[in-house]
Structure 1
Amino acid sequence: MKSARTALIATACAAALLLSACGEEAGGKTVRADGTLAPGSELRVGERAVVPFSDAGKSGTIAITVKSVDVGPKEDLAKFKDKGEGTLPVYVRMVIENVGGTDLADTSVSVRAVDASGKGTKVIMAGGTAACKGETAPETFTTPGATYETCDTEGVKDGNEVGGVSFGEGDGYKDDPITWKK
């Protein structure tokens, strides 16, 4: 009888562990059963987020690690002439990893700068600068573990603060993005 009770307790503990892994929450982030981060998760710059991804007619699973979020000098926006007036560039340096192993060559990942409260900065930069040229995934971005580094140029109104960046594409992220805070 005692061994049956021990076996029952062990089974119950194992089931509890499995169920907790389906929605594990730690520090503002929730990992879903498929290993991707749930919409609304919050991370710190430097942390890795595994997300479902689609671009250019291709889809798969990637990991995004935002390495840094830095405000650049206004002189970097000289090529934008009057359109860059009153704006500062925000350089988001990232490492992108192909987690699922599908062909994601020639796709690109974009994030958006957010203020300290997590709201968008309302400044969208079309194209990069000499200091931060966005790269698309290389032709070799087709296998699990393949990585590349890229830089996304965002913007902020001069005098406003940048609190981090958000990813808001696909699977509910548009309405409730993943956010990396500085």
Structure 2
Amino acid sequence: MRNRVLEFLGVSAAVLALAGCAGETSGTPSAAGGAPAPSQAETSTASSSADAPAGKSSGGSFTKQGTKLKLGEKATVPFKSESKTGAIGVTVKAIEKGAEADLAPLALGDKAKGMTPYYVRVTVSNESGTDFSYSSLGLMDALLPDGSEAQQVSVIGTFDKCDSGDAGKAFTTKGATYESCVLALAQGSTAVTGASYNEGEYHDQAPGTDYGDEAVTWQP
């Protein structure tokens, strides 16, 4: 995963980091919590959400890298947890605007002044029936209107407004789901309008699925 870390200054008793993405000047602060052409979507047999066009491989059918989706459409992507391989579905359901005051429990200090939080709501589904219990989604980014990546916040601990979540112990059967959230910040009149799935770690499971090279993206 593409993490670069810069220390925040002036914040004690917490690990704060600013992680960015290649080619971007925006970063991803971490905080200790307080308490390509569009492709037509097709219907999934495992979900009522629309699936992205997929490429065939020995591991199944997966959404091609670079696919552009609408909010509510599902990408089916290769996945691996420990030694178990299979597929998960990633559906960006909504992007919600928060308020600057929401960030107070994260103790980000001046780094959060004038910033508006946005919550990218994601549903993750088990598409292959593989035991992916206690796994986590992987690398996702929030996008600004020009397609650049928004500044993101990784929360160490809990943040009720936007829980990144993990699969839990029951994520072992086809059709099982859990909810995840990406917390991102935008300044002034700029807004978070989209999201991308950039995980390239599992591309060896199927050709055409190096999302680290060409992300799957969602826009309204």
Query: Shorter-normalised TM-score: what interval?
Result: 0.7 to 0.9
1:107 aligns with 2:135: yes
- What is the DSSP-based 3-state SS (H/G/I as helix, E as strand, rest coil) of the residue aligned with 2:111? helix
For 1:1-182, list aligned pairs within 5 A.
25-26=39-40, 30-33=53-56, 34-54=60-80, 59-78=85-104, 79=106, 80-109=108-137, 110-121=139-150, 123-127=151-155, 129-170=159-200, 171=203, 172-182=210-220
| Whole-angstrom CA distance in 1 between matches of 2:146 and 2:167 | 31
Shift of 1:138: 1.1
- What is the DSSP-based 3-state SS (H/G/I as helix, E as strand, rest coil) of the residue aligned with 1:32? strand
Q: Give the number of the structure whose residues are more often helix, by fraction.
A: 1
Q: Which runs of 4+ in 1 moved over 3 A?
A: 54-59
TM-score (norm 2): 0.64
| Whole-angstrom CA distance in 1 between matches of 2:121 and 2:169 | 20
User: Which structure is larger by alpha-carbon Rg, 1 or 2?
Assistant: 1
| Whole-angstrom CA distance in 1 between matches of 2:213 and 2:83 | 22
Aligned residues: 156
- Select between 141-150 and 40-49 the one with higher mean Cα deviation: 141-150
**What letter corresponds to residue 112 of structure 1 in structure 2?**
D
TM-score (norm 1): 0.77
Shift of 1:53: 2.2
